[in-house]
Amino acid sequence: MWNRDRWVEIFETLSKNKLRASLSGFTIAMGIFIFVTLYGFGNGLKNAFNQFFLDDATNTLWVYGGQTSKPYKGFKSRRNIEFDNEDLDQLATDFAYFIEGVTPRITRAGEVSYKTESNSYSVRAVGPVHQDIEKSLVYSGRYINQSDVKDYTKNAVIGRLVAKDLFKYEDPLGKHVIINDVAFKVVGVFSDEGGDNEERMVYIPYTTQQRLLGGSEEIDQIILTFRPEIGYAGALQLESNIMKFLKRKHSIDPEDPAGIFIRNVASDLKQNQDFASILQYIVTFVGLGTLIAGVIGISNIMVYVVRERTKELGIRKAIGATPKSIIGMILHESIFITTIAGYTGLFVGVGTLVLIGDNLEDFFIVDPQIHIGTAIFATILLIVFGAVAGYVPAKRAARIKPIIALRDE
């Protein structure tokens, strides 16, 4: 392998047979290039899917009240189901083993003003756990905490864009804003990767909102996060148990499809991940197909190369080349070409993916990348198969009798 003479011999041969060398090199480089870019696009598609779910926690159940569709235990149908704080507390205690946290959410429109600036935003009345569900990033101050809830404080956490709209360059922390005619103190500012709408929110303690709404204990929806360890099956089981529990508590027919609705983000995510995986399989399959086509390409070229060189190989044998040296020479040459070309294709492919970056986001391809291990594996695979493809005709050529080779005009 490290014999300098062999290398000199190979370089001489290659430099004098440029067309042949560049043709076979091109096939390899093309195969790897296509594999790398396709695979990267596949990953880009998957990234796009994952991004839809990135800004919120995925281990959550969202419980909504609805209208019953069946009469039950003396209640008529078409009864509105509403939750209250008691539901919240009971869920938290009864399912304590599976649940990480639970929070209500009461959403109302709010006219929010500071000094002369005023605008309307969504005001969400929530508990501390809500921060984890939305993955709100509090970069200044703090979020709604347990004592806010306990003490009915008039504290508010505002989104980045709310702060920008109302306060301009002023620091909002500690300032008072007027929300629907009631003064709240700004205790925190947050950002959210979910986009502009998420950053135009105002959060206040749910107990405060309930008191302002006339002292009711009603809540619009209950959001709870479960322990990720319980897994997908556990999440489905938990969903059905909570459904049973709430239906019993609110006297709803267990068979009633309406009344209570639960959205399970875990199962939504799973469906989408399944879809993305299938896409990835298809892309991998196409990529493998390309690789196989590349291997077949090299095999053909190697067969042709050996055929073309039959006479030369015969001459070499007549003047003393051993079969081993003939095989060695051809293999060495083919491995050299495939390695150089393979890694060229690899770098060009990876370079293309880097250049594309997020330019194709509109086509649902986000940050297309190929794991460098996968790419190198594919390249080595092609080199190995290139060598195998070269070995068979080389072996045959080495066994051919010099007289027959020499007769081959």
Partner 1 sequence: MIQLNNIHKSYNLKTNPLHVLKGINLSIEEGEMVAIMGASGSGKSTLLNILGMLDEADSGTYTLDDTPIVQLSETKAAQYRNKFLGFVFQSFNLISYKTALENVSLPLYYQKIPRKERLIKAKENLDKVGLGERIDHVPSELSGGEKQRVAIARALASEPKVLLADEPTGALDTKTSYDLMALIQEINEQGKTMVVITHEHDIANMCKRIVHLRDGVIVEDKKIKQVKAKDHVE
Binding site for partner 1 (CB under 8 A): 4-5, 8-9, 12-13, 16-17, 311-312, 314-325, 398-399, 401-403, 406, 409
- C-alpha 205/C-alpha 197 separation (Å) is 20
Residue 228 tokens read as 């990720």
Of 69, 89, 76, 62, residue with least CA distance to 249: 89
Q: For the CB of residue 393, give the shortest distance to partner 1 in the complex, in Å.
A: 17
CB of 402 vs partner 1, minimal distance in Å: 5
Q: How far is the CB of 300 from partner 1 (least distance, A)?
A: 22
User: Can you tell me the distance from the alpha carbon of 141 to that of 157, in angstroms, rounded to the nearest whole number?
Assistant: 9
Q: Which is nearer to partner 1, 19 or 233 (CB)?
A: 19
**Could you give the angle at which helices 265-308 and 231-249 cross, rounded to 10 degrees?**
160
Nearest-angstrom CA–CA distance, 110 and 384: 67
Residue (295 or 337) nearer to partner 1, CB:
337
State which residue, 168 or 407, has the beta carbon closest to partner 1: 407
Pairing of strands 99-114, 117-126: antiparallel
Name which of 278 and 404 has its Cβ closer to partner 1: 404
To the nearest whole angstrom, how small is the minimum distance from the Cβ of residue 389 to partner 1? 22
Beta-sheet pairing, 155-159 with 182-191? parallel
Q: Indicate the residue among 12 and 268 with the shorter CB distance to partner 1.
A: 12
- The answer to whether the CB of 156 falls within 8 A of the CB of 177 is yes
Determine the residue type at 201.
M
Residue 298 CB, shortest distance to partner 1, in Å, is 22
Task: Please give the Cα distance from 39 to 378 (Å, whole number).
Answer: 11
Which 3-state string (H, E, C) describes 61-74?
EEEEECECCCCECC
Of the pair 4, 73, the CB lying nearest partner 1 is at 4
Q: Tell me the CA distances in angstroms from 293 to 28, 304, 347, 385, one per residue in order.
A: 10, 16, 20, 11
- Minimal distance, residue 315 CB to partner 1, in Å: 5
Nearest CB to partner 1, comparing residues 91 and 398: 398
CB of 10 to partner 1, least distance (A): 12
The dihedrals phi and psi of 177, each to the nearest 5 degrees, come to: -115, 155
